[in-house]
Amino acid sequence: MRALLQRVSSAAVSVEGQTIGQIGHGLLILICAMPEDTEATADALALKISKLRIFKDGADKMNLNLAQTDGGALVVSQFTLAADTSRGNRPGFSGAAKPDHAKHLYEYFATQLAALDIPVQTGEFGADMSVSLTNDGPVTIWLDTDLP
């Protein structure tokens, strides 16, 4: 799985002008399932994200995880994280998981993150969404379960 994390002071996602998910401070998590991913992959990624110490402590050091700051997570499906730009000028997305598999893993990931005591809001899989956010830092981190 691939995830792009953005530390935010607020974030929201809307579909057709209606807000369907929003958080205060925490993480906006853009997530993409790849064909070989499994529930075990999603479990590992949720656990990794929950433990990342990327929030400031009292000494202004990135030393706290999401739960330690009572932050939330806004999880949004983003198949374009699988973009292949190696040929030409139009990205290819055949490297992303097929929609049924991707939807299952997206929903499973959000459920597993919530099971780790993280308040979770989500977007709508497959919808044309508008995402707004206020970056905090900015801090943006790329995670790929296929990379060390």
Q: Could you report the per-residue pLDDT of 26-79, keeping only the tens digit for each?
A: 999 999 999 999 999 999 999 999 999 999 999 999 999 999 999 999 999 999
pLDDT digits (tens, 9 = 90+) for 88-145: 899 999 899 999 999 999 999 999 999 999 999 999 999 999 999 999 999 999 999 9
Q: Is 78 a catalytic residue?
A: yes
**Which residue has 């005591």 as its token pair?**
117
The rounded radius of gyration (Å) of the Cα atoms in the chain is 15
Q: Is 79 a catalytic residue?
A: yes
Structural domains of the chain ordered from first start:
2-136 (3.50.80.10)
What pTM does this model have?
A: 0.95
Q: Which of 6, 41, 78, 112 is catalytic?
A: 78
At CA 102, angle to CA 46 and CA 39, rounded to 5? 40
Q: Which of 6, 41, 55, 79 is catalytic?
A: 79
Q: Which of 19, 38, 68, 80 is catalytic?
A: 80
Q: What is the torsional sign of CA 88, 95, 8, 129?
A: positive
